[in-house]
Structure 1
Amino acid sequence: MASSRDIPSSGRGIGDIASSFASSFRAASPLAQEIVARDIAECSEDEDVDDTSNFLESDAESVDGGHGPTLYRQPAGIEVAFGYRRPSLLLEPAEEPTRPVVTRAEKKQSRDAERSLLRDNHILPPKHGVEEQPGLLTKVYKRLFSTKVRKTPDDEEVPRIAINPSETAPLLPGRSADGSGQEEENLNEQWEAAVASGKIQTTWQREAQTIGKYSRSLIVTFLLQYSINIASVFAVGHIGKIELGAVSLAAMTANITCYAPFQGLATSLDTLCSQAYGSGHKHLVGVYVQRMIYFLGSLMIPVALLWVFAADILARLVPEPESAELAGLYLKIIIIGIPGFVALECGKRFVNSQGLFHATTYVLLIAAPFNAFISWLFVWHFGWGFVGAPVAVAVTQNLMPVLLFLYVVFVDGSQCWNGFSKKAFTNWGPMVKLALPGMIMVVAEWLAFEVLTLASSQFGTSYLAAQSILMTLTSTTFQLPFPISIAASTRIANLIGAKLSSAAKTSAKVAVCSAALVAVFNVIILSSLRYELPKLLTTDEEVIEFVAQIMPLVAVMQIFDSMACMAHGLLRGIGKQHFGGYANLLTYYLVALPISFGVGFGLDWKLEGLWSGVTLGLFLVAAVEYWYIYKSDWEESVREAEHRNASG
C-alpha cells in the first residue's frame, strides 16, 4: 500500500546508473550545478588538476568509442535503501544528477543486451545455428519461451552500414583485424540503423525475463532490509499487547520526528555526490558527505531532547498511559542509534554515487541476521524484556555504518575520500535549500499513514496492537510488488531513452501482469492464513481476533496496493513521476484520510474504518494513474528523453 514507514531501516531500494541514455528521462539540476561549481572554484589548483586528470583517464576508458544509448541500467531503488517501509507517495529527489555513473561491467551488459536484441529481431545472425527440422518439444519450448520476434514475410533486413576501408581495416571480409566478427566491429552503426528504421521490437518473453532478472535480487534485499524492522515486533510481540502497541507508537514517533526528515534532507546527496563524481572532482564527494553529516549531527540535539520527554508528550495524545510510557522508554534508548543512522544515510550515498550499489546489500547480508539474533538474545535469552528490543535496534544502527566503512576501506570506494576538510563547514545554505523539497516530500509521505497508528491508539491497547500487526504484515507483502515496479521503471526508462516506445509499451504490459499475479498471491496468503499469521507476532487472543476480522479487507486492499505500486513505476519509467506525486498527495490527504477518520470515528467502525479509507484511496490512485498512463503520448516521452539526454 502506499503506507507509512517503520523504524530505522525498512526497505526499498538501488541506484540510478547507466550511460547517457540512462539519464535520458532525468532533469538537470541547476542548483546542484551551482553548488558544485562554487566548491570547485574554492578548490586549490593542484586539487583541480589531479582530479580532472584522473577523471579524464578513467572516462576515456569508459566512453568506449562514444557509444550512445545503452540497454542496460542498474535498477533504480537501492539508493533509498535503509529507512523506507512502504511508499504512500511517490518520492522524488528534489534534484537529479545530470551525469550517471557507468561501470565497465554495465557497459558490457549494455552491449550484450543490444546485440541480443539485434539477433532476436533477425538483424544479426543467431548466436547458435538453427536446426533445420526441430522436434516437437523444441517447437513448444520456442513458442513459449523464445525471445525472438516472429518474422513475417514482409520483414526486410536492416541495411548494413558501409564502412570505408582504412589502413587498419581487416583484409578478409566479415572479419576485423583482431579476429572478431564485423558485426562486433559495427555494432553501434547496426544498432542506430535498426532503431532509425523502426526494426527493433521485443517480446513478452524477453521483457518477463529482464524484469525478473532485475527484481529478484531487489526482492531479497528489501526483505532483508525490512527484517531489521520487524525483528523488534517479533521480539516483543509475545511479551504482551501493551508492549506490541508501544513499539508501533515509538516507531511512528521516531519516523515523523527524525527518520523521515533526516532521510529527506539526505536526498540532496543523491544529486550533489553524483554530479561531483561525474564532473571528475571526486574529492568533493567526501566533502559533501561530511557536510551533510555535520548538518544532520547538529539536528540530533533537538531530536534527542524531544525523545527524552517523549513519554510525557505521548501521554497527552494516547489514552493508554502505559503504552505511552513504554514508547517513551523505547525512544530514550534508541537515541544512541541516531549517529549511526545519520552516518549510514550519508555513507550509502557516498558509495552509490560511485556506482557501488551492492555495498549496501553486502552490509545487509551481515546486519539483518545479526539484528534478528541480538533481538532474541537481549529480549529473551538475557531476560531484558521490552528494553532489549530498542537496544538491539541501536546496536544494529551503529553497526551498519561501520560495516559500510570497512567495505570502503578494504573493498572499493576510498578513491573519493581525501580526508577531513574544513570546506565541510562552509556553503551549508545552498545545500539546505536543495535538500528542503526532498524533506517535505518524505515527511508528507510518512505522515499520511503514521497518523493512522496514532488514531488506532484512541480505540484501546488491543486495537493499537492489532494495527501494529496489520502494518507489519502489509508492509512485508509490499516488498514483492515494489521491487518489481522498480525493475519495470528501469526497463521502461531504458527503452524510452533508446527511442523504442513500442518495446516500452510491451514491457509495461508485462509489468502490469506481473503486478496482478503478485496481488493474487498476496490475497491468497493473507486471506487463507488470517488466523495463523497474527500468531507469529502475538499470543493475545483478542488481538488475533481483531486482526483476523480485518484481514479480508486488507487482503482485498492488496490488489489495489500492488497495482498502484506498479502504476508509480510506469510513471517513473516514462518520466511523468510528478503526476504520481501530486495524485497521491491529493488522494490520500483529501480522500483517503478523511474517509478513514469519518467512518472509523464517526460511524464507529474503528480499524475497519481506518483501513476502508486506505483501500479506497489506493483504488483511486491506481485508477487515476493508469488512466493517465493510457492517455499519455509515449512518443512525447521519447522526445523529452532525447532532449534531456542532449542537454545533459
Structure 2
Amino acid sequence: MSMNIPSDPNNPVTNSSRLGTSFRSQLGSFAASSPLASYSIARDLEEEEDNEGAVDHDGDDEGDDVSPGAITPSQYALSEQYRRPSAVAYGSRPLMLPAFEPDHVRLTRAERENIMSEERSLLRDNDFIPPKHPREQSSDDNLAARLGRKLSLSGLRRSKTQPDEETGVGSIAGRIDEDGAPTERTALLGESDGRPYGGQAESPEQINKKWEEAVLTGKIQTTWQREAKVLTKYSRSLILTFILQYSLTMASIFTIGHIGKVELGAVSLATMTANITGYAVYQGLTTSLDTLCAQAYGSGKKTLVGLQLQRMVYFLMCITIPIGIIWLSAEAILSAIVPEKETARLAGLYLKVLLIGAPGYAAFESGKRFVQAQGLFSATLYVLLICAPLNAFMNWLFVWKLNMGFIGAPIAVAITDNLLPITLALYVIFVDGRQCWGGFESRALRNWGPMIKLALPGLVMVLAEFLAFEILTLAASYLSTTHLAAQSVLSTLTALTFQIPFPVSIAASTRIANLIGATLAGPAKVAAKVALVAAVFIGLLNVTLLSSLRFYIPQLFTNDQDVVDLVASVLPLCAAFQLFDSLAANCNGILRGLGRQEVGGYVNLFAYYVIALPISFSTGFGLHWDLYGLWSGPAIGLAIVFGIEAVFISRTSWEAAVEMALRRNTSA
C-alpha cells in the first residue's frame, strides 16, 4: 500500500500522509524497511505466483470489508496498539533491549477503533468537538472529584466558561471577543452542528477531518493527567508479562537456593551459560522475524507469515545442534574456567537436562513473532498466565515433593519450555491467528539468505547486552562459592526490579513515537516528562523496598546464613542505583520514541564496557572489595548512562524529530 505524494518539507500534510496508511512507528530498527526483507518477500510472492498463476491480494484481514472512506486512519492518526518487543525471558536484565518494530501496512478493525477513540478523546479535551457527558457540576460531588476535574485540561478551560444565554451550553472565555467576533481560540468547526454533547455521534470521516484541521493549526495539546493515564494503560499488561516471563527463571532459583549455596551458585552459572550460548542466540536470531513476518503480513498474502515462521524454526533447529554440543560439554568447559569443580559439575548437569527444552524454546520465540506480526500481543500474556504458575508448581513438585533435588529444577524448566509453544499453538488454532498459517511447505527449506543476514545484527546486539551483566556472575565465581550464590540472588533481584521501569519505558517510547508520527511535538514532550516523573517514582519505590527489606529478601532465596549476610551487605548499593536504573531505562525509551535509539545503544555500550566493567574488576579484585566492588561498576555506569542521555534529550529539538520522522516515512 503506497501513496504517490510529492515530498514537500514545508507541508506537514503531504509529508505525513503515509503515516496513517503504512502506520510505521518511529521506534525504528536496523531491520525496518530493510531491502533484504523486501527481496525475501518478493521472491516468496514470485514463487506463489508461479504456483498459483497469480498472487491474490485478497486482503481478507479483519475489518477490510468496511468502507475505505470510513476506516482509513487520518494522516495524523494515533494508535494505542503499540508493537511490543519480546521480553527477555531468561537471565539478568539487559542493558537496552532494542525495539524491533514490525513494518505493518494494514490495520485491524481493533486498531482502527482505537485510533478513532484516541483522536475523538483528544479533540474533546481541546474543545474541537462537544464533550461526551454533561459538564454541569453536581452538588453532591466530593472534593476529590471536583479537584480532579479542575486539574484536567478541559476543567481548566471550563473555569473560564461564561453562560451562553441562548444555548445554555456555555462558551469558553477567549473564544469570542467583546464584539462577538471569533478569536484564535474559536473552535474551527463550531459546536458540532449545535449539539450540546458529542457522544459517539461523530463519524470516522468527521473525526479525520477535524483532526487534520486541528493538527494543521497546532491546537492539539495534552496534559500530564492524560499522558499518565495512557502510560499506565500501555504499561500495566507489559509489566505483568515481563514479570511472568522472568518468573520462569526465578522459580528455579527460589527452589534450588534452599538446597544449599553450592546448588544456588550452580544454577546461576548454568543460567548464565544458557543465556549466552543458547537463549540469547535464539532471541537475537528471531528478531529478523519482526521485519519478515510483518512485511509478509502486509503483502496481502497472509500465509507468507507462516512460511517465514517455518523457515526460522528449521533454521533454529539447525542452530540447536552446536548449542547442544556446547551444553553437553558444559561440565568440562566450566571446570576449566570456574575454580569450584562441584559447582561446574552441577551446572553442566543442569544444562544437559535443559537441552531437552531448547527446541521448544526456539519454537516459542519464533511463534511469538508470528502472533505479534498479526497484532495479537495478548497471546503471549495468556500463554504465560498458564505456563508460569505451572512452572513454579513443577519446580516445587519435583525438587521438594518428589525429592528429586537439584535435578528437578531443570526438568521443570525443560517441560515448561516445551509447553510454551504447544500452548501458543493451541491459542492460534482455537482463538486467533490461524489465518496466517497455510500449512507446511517445502519452500521453507529455501530462501534462507535474507533471513540469516537480517538475523545476525540482532544476534550481536542481544549478545552484547546479555554479556555485560553475566560477566559479573562469572567473576563472582573466582571469589568463593558464597559470593557466587550471593551474586545469583543479587542479579535475580535487580533483574526483577527492572521488570517495572523497562516495560514503562517501552510504553513511553511507543506513546512518544505515535505522537511524533502524528506531528505533535508538544504533546510528545509532555509524554516524555511524564515518563521521567514515573521513572522517579518507580526508582524510589525500588530503593525503598530493597533497602528496607534487605535482611528479609535474601531469606526467600536461601537458608545459608553466610549468603544471607553477604546479600544484605551489598543490597544497599544495589538499592542506591535503582533510581538511576529506572531513569536510564526511561531515557532509553524516550530515545527510541525519538528514533534515536542508536544514541542509547552507543551510550550503554560505552558506559558498561569502557567504564563499568573496568571499575568492577579494579575495585572487586584490585582493591579487594569483593562483591561490593563488582557491583560498584554497574552503579556508576547507570548514573553515567542517565546523565549523558538526559543531557542529549534536554538539547533535542522535538520539532526536528517530527521533521525527521516525516522524511523517514515518506521515503520508506
Q: TM-score, normalised to structure 2's length? A: 0.88
Matched, 1:23 2:30: no
RMSD: 2.4
Report what 1:74 is aligned to.
81
Choose 57-66 or 293-302, whichever is displaced more.
Answer: 57-66
**Distance (Å, rounded) in 2 between the aligned partners of 1:553 and 1:502:** 38
Alignment of 1:502-581 (within 5 A): 502-581=522-601
Matched, 1:420 2:440: yes
| The one of 123, 131, 137 aligned to 2:136 | 131
Equivalent residue pairs, number: 618
In structure 2, relative to structure 1, the CA distance for the partners of 1:56 and 1:611 (3 Å cut) is closer
Identical aligned pairs, as a percentage?
Answer: 53
Kindly indicate whether structure 1 or structure 2 has the higher relative contact order, using CA contacts under 8 Å at least 6 residues apart.
Answer: 1
| The one of 446, 450, 469 aligned to 2:470 | 450
* Conserved 8 A contact 1:25-1:497: no
Q: Deviations over 1:431-457 (max 9, x none)?
A: 111110000001111111111100000
Which SS does the other structure have where 2:411 is aligned?
Answer: helix
Which SS does the other structure have where 2:94 is aligned?
Answer: coil
Which SS does the other structure have where 1:418 is aligned?
Answer: coil
**Distance (Å, rounded) in 1 between the aligned partners of 2:203 and 2:48:** 46
| The one of 260, 263, 279 aligned to 2:283 | 263
Report what 1:382 is aligned to.
402
| The one of 9, 30, 37 aligned to 2:42 | 37
Letter aligned with residue 23 of structure 1:
S
In structure 2, relative to structure 1, the CA distance for the partners of 1:393 and 1:100 (3 Å cut) is farther
Report what 2:96 is aligned to.
89
In structure 2, relative to structure 1, the CA distance for the partners of 1:311 and 1:148 (3 Å cut) is farther
Task: Give 1:590 deviation, angstroms.
Answer: 0.6
| The one of 624, 628, 639 aligned to 1:604 | 624
Which SS does the other structure have where 2:78 is aligned?
Answer: coil
| The one of 81, 86, 98 aligned to 2:103 | 98
* Conserved 8 A contact 2:81-2:114: no
Alignment of 1:394-473 (within 5 A): 394-473=414-493
Matched, 1:304 2:327: no
* Conserved 8 A contact 1:117-1:200: yes
Q: Deviations over 1:620-645 (max 9, x none)?
A: 00111111111111111111222233
* Conserved 8 A contact 2:297-2:304: yes
Matched, 1:159 2:188: yes
Letter aligned with residue 34 of structure 1:
Y
In structure 2, relative to structure 1, the CA distance for the partners of 1:198 and 1:368 (3 Å cut) is same
Report what 1:116 is aligned to.
121
* Conserved 8 A contact 2:235-2:504: yes
Letter aligned with residue 67 of structure 1:
P
Q: Deviations over 1:67-115 (max 9, x none)?
A: 223222324435346447522134254xx54335522122112111111
In structure 2, relative to structure 1, the CA distance for the partners of 1:587 and 1:81 (3 Å cut) is closer
Task: Give 1:275 deviation, angstroms.
Answer: 0.1
Task: Give 1:587 deviation, angstroms.
Answer: 1.3
* Conserved 8 A contact 1:161-1:189: no
* Conserved 8 A contact 2:594-2:657: yes
**Distance (Å, rounded) in 1 between the aligned partners of 2:494 and 2:279:** 20
Letter aligned with residue 133 of structure 2:
H
* Conserved 8 A contact 2:73-2:112: no
Letter aligned with residue 272 of structure 2:
M
Matched, 1:356 2:376: yes
Choose 110-119 or 38-47, whichever is displaced more.
Answer: 38-47
Report what 1:142 is aligned to.
149
Choose 331-340 or 61-70, whichever is displaced more.
Answer: 61-70
In structure 2, relative to structure 1, the CA distance for the partners of 1:92 and 1:231 (3 Å cut) is same
* Conserved 8 A contact 1:219-1:483: yes
Letter aligned with residue 472 of structure 1:
T
Report what 1:4 is aligned to.
none
**Distance (Å, rounded) in 2 between the aligned partners of 1:313 and 1:226:** 27
Task: Give 1:184 deviation, angstroms.
Answer: 5.9
**Distance (Å, rounded) in 1 between the aligned partners of 2:231 and 2:142:** 29
Q: Deviations over 1:295-315 (max 9, x none)?
A: 111111111111111111101
In structure 2, relative to structure 1, the CA distance for the partners of 1:24 and 1:324 (3 Å cut) is closer
Report what 2:641 is aligned to.
621
Report what 1:369 is aligned to.
389
**Distance (Å, rounded) in 1 between the aligned partners of 2:382 and 2:88:** 12
In structure 2, relative to structure 1, the CA distance for the partners of 1:354 and 1:380 (3 Å cut) is same
* Conserved 8 A contact 2:73-2:115: no
**Distance (Å, rounded) in 2 between the aligned partners of 1:349 and 1:329:** 31
Gaps of 5+ in 2: 1-18, 161-172, 175-183
In structure 2, relative to structure 1, the CA distance for the partners of 1:314 and 1:182 (3 Å cut) is closer
**Distance (Å, rounded) in 1 between the aligned partners of 2:27 and 2:557:** 43
Q: TM-score, normalised to structure 1's length? A: 0.91
Choose 438-447 or 66-75, whichever is displaced more.
Answer: 66-75
Q: Deviations over 1:16-52 (max 9, x none)?
A: x996445355352222111111221122356474641
Which SS does the other structure have where 1:52 is aligned?
Answer: coil
In structure 2, relative to structure 1, the CA distance for the partners of 1:125 and 1:435 (3 Å cut) is same
In structure 2, relative to structure 1, the CA distance for the partners of 1:402 and 1:157 (3 Å cut) is same
Choose 26-35 or 516-525, whichever is displaced more.
Answer: 26-35
Q: Deviations over 1:467-488 (max 9, x none)?
A: 0000111111111111111111
Task: Give 1:572 deviation, angstroms.
Answer: 0.9
Letter aligned with residue 53 of structure 1:
D
In structure 2, relative to structure 1, the CA distance for the partners of 1:25 and 1:257 (3 Å cut) is closer
* Conserved 8 A contact 2:256-2:264: yes
Report what 1:481 is aligned to.
501
* Conserved 8 A contact 1:73-1:110: yes
**Distance (Å, rounded) in 2 between the aligned partners of 1:142 and 1:466:** 50
| The one of 603, 608, 624 aligned to 1:588 | 608
**Distance (Å, rounded) in 2 between the aligned partners of 1:156 and 1:146:** 14
Report what 2:181 is aligned to.
none
Gaps of 5+ in 1: 1-16, 163-171
Matched, 1:244 2:264: yes
Which SS does the other structure have where 2:136 is aligned?
Answer: coil
In structure 2, relative to structure 1, the CA distance for the partners of 1:173 and 1:249 (3 Å cut) is closer
**Distance (Å, rounded) in 2 between the aligned partners of 1:286 and 1:325:** 41
In structure 2, relative to structure 1, the CA distance for the partners of 1:194 and 1:294 (3 Å cut) is same
